[in-house]
Amino acid sequence: MALPYQWQYKLDRWKANLQGFFGGGGNQQPRPKLCPNCGSLVGINATRCHNCGTNLRFSMAAVNRSLSGVFSGPAPVTTALLVANLLMFGVEFMAAAAQGGGGGLSILWGVGGPATIHLGMSWPYGIYIQHEWYRLITAMFLHGGLIHIGFNMMALMQLGPALEELYGSSRYFFLFIITGAFGFLVSSFPYGPWYPNNSLGASGGLLGLVGAMLAITGKRGGSYMRELRSRLISNVVILFVLGFMGMGIDNKAHLGGLASGFVLGKIFADRQPMNVREKQIANALGWIAGIAVIASFALMILHYRDSLPGQA
């Protein structure tokens, strides 16, 4: 049976992008290229842009353009984050099942235990005693069940595309990763009025997006901005109240993500990078976040089989 036209078109696009990525492309004649950073026309064999110096093959701008082709749409990083979270939930569930958990209705809200600790959830003992700081990032891609990941991914798809379009993919990615990691740092801190706890989920980064949106609405006037700010504040208040009612919500991670997102929202210009210098800074921030994520998952894999306290 033939595929619908839309899916055939997407498959052809993905195939062409993958062929280009791995050096394929059939008998097509080489053509001049556009710099993914500044948009200048560059030569057929050029590896760096003559205008801004961007590496045409190995740069955040080039990666973002590749993602735009594979994940078609205006928000490639949001789509990539969605896919990464769904894939990690599958890995998490299989790891829990292999250890005798995850059966029955526990998939809705009961995925956890030693499997999630091994996969890098935020765990104060691991962070402060064993110095496994990678957990501040890997925990963002783990969830406690289908309900948990469902709500978080719906929020990501509601908030993410608009902010990615506003800030550009590189700064948006940095915003999400840094605010999520800072949220888990606040959550795991072993001092203060709230006791530290094990935690996981993307909601610290999501509250970072909310914090950035609150900063944006504070810098702009108009009835729409006031209405949006009012709705955001109401939703945040409700979320914190539910957390204080013992609903299993990590208020500390949410507070850390919200505060750091608000600060970054005040610092970032409310538009995409416009000149070469701004684009270079944005791409550098994107690389910092990307390298941090890759390194964190590499360290998680390295320590996956480490024994937990109390295990033989």
Q: Got the DSSP string for 130-185? A: S--TTHHHHGGG--SSHHHHHHHHHHHHHHHHHHHHHH-HHHHHHHHHHHHHHHHH
Domain ranges of the chain: 32-70, 74-303
Whether the Cβ atoms of residue 203 and residue 254 lie closer than 8 Å to each other: yes
More confident position, 224 or 246: 224
Size of the chain, expressed as the number of residues it contains: 312
CB 160 within 8 A of CB 209: yes
**Amino acid (one-letter) located at 187:** S
Is pLDDT larger for residue 149 or for residue 99?
Answer: 149
Scan for tokens 């842009």, then name that residue: 49
| 81-95, 172-186, 194-208, 291-305: the lowest-pLDDT one | 194-208
What's the average model confidence in pLDDT over 71-84?
84
Exposed e or buried b for every residue in 19-46, given b needs 16+ CB within 10 A? Answer: eeeeeeeeeeeeeeeebbbbeeebeeee
Nearest residue to 239 via CA among 263, 276, 212, 210:
210
Tokens encoding 172? 């948006």
Dihedral pair phi/psi, residue 56, rounded to 5°: -80, -10
Is residue 55 helix, strand or coil? strand
Tell me what pLDDT residue 25 has: 46
pLDDT for 172 equals 97
Residue 9 CA to residue 195 CA, distance in Å, equals: 53
Query: What is the SS3 assignment for 79?
Result: helix
- Which of 12-21, 39-48, 54-63 bottoms out in mean pLDDT, i.e. has the lowest? 12-21
Q: What confidence score (pLDDT) does residue 51 get?
A: 76
**Out of 26-40, 272-286, 296-310, which region has the weakest mean confidence (pLDDT)?**
26-40
Instruction: Provide mean pLDDT across the span 285-309.
Output: 95
- Residue 31's pLDDT is what? 60
pLDDT of residue 46: 75
Between 135 and 249, the higher pLDDT residue: 135
Q: What percent of the chain has pLDDT over 90?
A: 57
pLDDT at 147: 92
What are 34's strand-pairing partners?
Answer: 41
Mean pLDDT of 171-195: 86
Task: Tell me the average pLDDT across 159-173.
Answer: 94
33 phi/psi in degrees, rounded to 5: -120, 165
* pLDDT at site 193: 47
The residue that leads in pLDDT, 4 or 251, is 251
Q: Is 1.20.1540.10 the CATH number for 74-303?
A: yes
Q: Of the ranges 29-33, 97-101, 117-121, which one carries the lowest mean pLDDT score?
A: 29-33
The pLDDT of residue 111 is: 80
DSSP secondary structure code for residue 59 in this structure: S
The yes-or-no verdict on residue 238 having pLDDT over 70 is yes
How far is Cα 78 from Cα 211, in angstroms, rounded to an integer?
A: 17
Q: Which of the four pLDDT bands, split at 50, 70 and 90, describes residue 107?
A: confident
The band of 297, judged by pLDDT with boundaries at 50, 70 and 90, is very high
What pLDDT, on a 0 to 100 scale, did the predictor assign at position 26? 46
How does residue 246 score in pLDDT terms, banded at 50, 70 and 90?
A: confident
